[in-house]
Amino acid sequence: MIMNSLKQSGFLFSNFKAKSQTPFEKLFEIFKELITYTSGDFNEAIDWLKELDKEYVLTSEDYTMDDFIEELLAKGYIKKDLNQDGVGDGIGLTAKTEMLLRQHALKQIFGKMKRIGNGNHNTKHTGTGQSDSGDLKNYEFGDSIEKIAITESIKNAQIQGGLDDFKLSKDDLVVNDQYHQAQMSTVLMIDISHSMILYGEDRITPAKKVAMALSEFITTRYPKDKLDIIVFGNDARPISIKELPYLNVGPFHTNTVAGLELAMDILRRNRNSNKQIFMITDGKPSCLKLKDGSYYKNSNGLDSHIVDKCYNMAQQARRLNIPITTFMIAQDPYLKSFVQEFTKANKGKAFYTGLKGLGEMIFEDYETNRKKRL
């Protein structure tokens, strides 16, 4: 009986059919993952792909790995790297592929989330704006006529006068209330210290994917927002969106203070009133740069001299109304205690998460922050 009802409702059931893919498309899906994992190293990615081919038979006599590489060149996904003399046998990624990797990362992360709806970010404040809040308010002089809720207004008039004496007055009119829409300036800090690849766990690739996805998300969905990305090890430096696929770790300690100083300096120069810092890290702060240019380093436990500097930076950010959201991708108890004190000093937020779900958590927090602040 249920099936008959569904059929009458227009539902059509059929056996599942897997999406047909060409040999190139199958290899290209794997290639996108590998090229991100290898930080844009084409030769290493192809070497990995060849190893997978040996185990899972990804190619055939009709379509070889050489055919795949030739098609990558023909489709403009890769290019030959030449020196000033026009000589060279290296292969590099094109801007087309760099953009595709950002879109791929966005699809992987954002596709797992519930769709939030179209439009720009909303704040908790209502008033003149572009997005309906879902609430109604009495009509006031200056409210747009297009926003009058006709059905509810007529219902009010009917309640007041009934059908026999139906009159629609100004007092009956209600309009759809709206959220203010605001711009947000965000700095995403990514830890590139050596611990991000220690202990047999690759933590930099998920962080890199999050950065690529977030950059694509903001530039396409919220073009008025601003995103800056910085990396921090012994020092901190800004990187462009174009550099993200090639991001890698180094033999660095964790200079959290340098990252926060640069992030706050960037946000101070920005005119947006809504500012925030997202920090992805897996380790304790272990490094400071001294005034003479030398480095003070201590990887043993939590060094009070370094930690106190971090707390001071958190308090400075709070005074500037810059909340810091920390995504700690390690589970050590003493690191959690540091993050708790750091978050308390800033009155920000902290998430203790593994690598799984990191992207979804950052995206959801980005949306939530935009609704909270004006």
Rounded to the nearest 5°, which phi and psi values hold at 189? -100, 130
Residue 18 lies in a domain: no
pLDDT of residue 119: 38
- What is the domain count for the chain? 3
pLDDT of residue 4: 57
pLDDT of residue 374: 35
Q: Is 128 left (phi over 0), alpha (psi -120 to 50) or beta?
A: beta
| 145-203 tens-digit pLDDT | 777 888 887 888 777 766 667 777 778 788 876 654 568 899 999 999 998 887 777 88
- For the chain, residues with pLDDT lower than 50 are 1-2, 5-6, 9, 113-129, 133, 180, 373-374
Helix ranges (H only) for 9-114 are 23-37, 42-56, 65-74, 95-110
Residue 32 and residue 22 in contact, taking contact as beta carbons nearer than 8 Å: no
Claim to verify: residue 153 and residue 227 sit in the same structural domain:
no
pLDDT of residue 135: 66
Claim to verify: residue 330 and residue 244 sit in the same structural domain:
yes
pLDDT of residue 290: 95
Residue 248 lies in a domain: yes
Claim to verify: residue 169 and residue 193 sit in the same structural domain:
no
Residue type, 231: V
pLDDT of residue 78: 94
pLDDT of residue 114: 40
Nearest of 215, 185, 314 to residue 261 by alpha carbon: 314
Claim to verify: residue 175 and residue 249 sit in the same structural domain:
no
CATH of the domain at 279: 3.40.50.410
Owning domain of residue 88: 23-93
Claim to verify: residue 214 and residue 322 sit in the same structural domain:
yes
Residue 255 lies in a domain: yes
Claim to verify: residue 170 and residue 46 sit in the same structural domain:
no
Q: Round to whole Å and give the CA distance between 135 and 155.
A: 16
Place of tokens 């769709």: 115
Claim to verify: residue 150 and residue 206 sit in the same structural domain:
no
pLDDT of residue 11: 53
pLDDT of residue 242: 92
Residue 295 lies in a domain: yes
Nearest of 114, 361, 41 to residue 214 by alpha carbon: 361
Claim to verify: residue 231 and residue 329 sit in the same structural domain:
yes
Place of tokens 């109304």: 321
Stated pTM of the model: 0.72
DSSP annotation of 148: B
Residue 98 lies in a domain: no
Residue 102 lies in a domain: no
pLDDT of residue 221: 81
pLDDT of residue 126: 46
Residue 218 lies in a domain: yes
Claim to verify: residue 267 and residue 171 sit in the same structural domain:
no
pLDDT of residue 354: 61
Claim to verify: residue 83 and residue 149 sit in the same structural domain:
no
Claim to verify: residue 177 and residue 188 sit in the same structural domain:
no
**Domain termination residue (choose one: 93, 117, 152):** 93
pLDDT of residue 117: 37
